[in-house]
Structure 1
């Protein structure tokens, strides 16, 4: 029990020094803050996945795969005549 508490104390110290100790917890100034950030980001991603569905992610990935440093995926798709259905991955208002 003491070793778990000791480990959390060490992680909290590292977090307060600016180190990311929890995956997805970037920006948190303490261990608890990083844990909360990671959980919130995960929930946000799950909600977005439910909104878009598999087809939406497929269309978004297709557009992203066309992007380069010089040109966005949307611009390249338009230039090359590639059809990307953006309605599949945009949140409806």
Structure 2
């Protein structure tokens, strides 16, 4: 089942996105949680989305739950939250003169 990705509120701000993208491209910094290896903000977001979906799929296996497989699958189709690295976000906000 396809996972929906939901971006943290900070990632909706164009100025913050631009600075995070600059850091990812120019400095090779990982600016998104689970986005290691991405060369841009968009690439890191896609990597994080795929990583989180994989983690959810791998949580299967033997269990003693009373839920059916369909019920468990339906519960796992929630949105994957793409979040910026907290330390980097704090630095970016400081650089932009925000709190």
Give the alignment's TM-score, normalised by structure 1: 0.51
Distance 1:32 1:40, change over 3 A: same
Aligned residues: 52
Higher helix share: 1
Partner Cα distance (1:4, 1:47) in 2: 31
The correspondence for 2:42, drawn from 27, 32, 44, is 32
| Contiguous gaps of at least 5 residues in structure 2 | 1-11, 65-99
Structure index of larger Rg = 1
Matches within 5 A, 1:42-53: 42-50=52-60, 52-53=61-62
Which structure: greater strand fraction?
Answer: 2
Unmatched runs of 5 consecutive residues or more in structure 1:
56-93
Higher relative contact order (CA 8 A, sep 6+): 2
**In structure 2, what is the Cα distance between the partners aligned to 1:25 and 1:32?**
9
Instruction: Give the distance between the partners of 1:12 and 1:49, measured in 2 at CA.
Output: 31
Cα displacement (A) at 1:53: 4.4
What is aligned with 1:23?
33
Structure-2 separation of matches of 1:29 and 1:5: 18
Q: TM-score, normalised by structure 2?
A: 0.48
